[in-house]
Amino acid sequence: MIKIIEAYLAKLFDTNGFENRADSKANKFTPLELKTGEVRVFVVPDLGNEKDLVLDRWNVKVGDRVKPQDVICEIGNRNIVMEYESASEGKIIWICEKKIALTVGDVFGKIEGI
């Protein structure tokens, strides 16, 4: 029985090949191309069972230019706080008010390609 538990723990905490997994294509961020004038929206992601989400803080304002992976805002509730990153390069053209209640799928901002 101890051998089975040891084997299970070894599989569970195996770090062999971790460097290879980190370099794999699946783990690399690929920015979404946004053509000049094209508009995309920021949408509240599905965070599982998390309810009562609120837009806590904006790190940008209308007119700001952002790059991929720039943190644009924080969304959270009593249990979690999630940093929302831009997936594209562009200019922020609209943002909702802070401290409003959000649900999955709500649009809370817009970005335009430059």
The two structure tokens encoding residue 56: 């806590």
- The predicted-structure confidence for 28-84, as pLDDT tens digits, reads as follows 778 888 899 999 999 998 878 778 899 999 999 999 999 999 999 999 988 889 999
Residue 97 maps to a domain: yes
The pTM for the full model equals 0.71
- The predicted-structure confidence for 96-107, as pLDDT tens digits, reads as follows 999 989 988 999
Distance CA 103, CA 92 (A): 21
User: Tell me, what's the pLDDT at 19?
Assistant: 46
Residue 26 maps to a domain: no
CATH number of the domain where residue 81 is located: 2.40.50.100
User: Tell me, what's the pLDDT at 15?
Assistant: 46
Please, are residues 13 and 7 in contact by the beta-carbon 8 Å criterion?
no
Please, are residues 74 and 99 in contact by the beta-carbon 8 Å criterion?
no
What is the domain extent for residue 86?
31-112
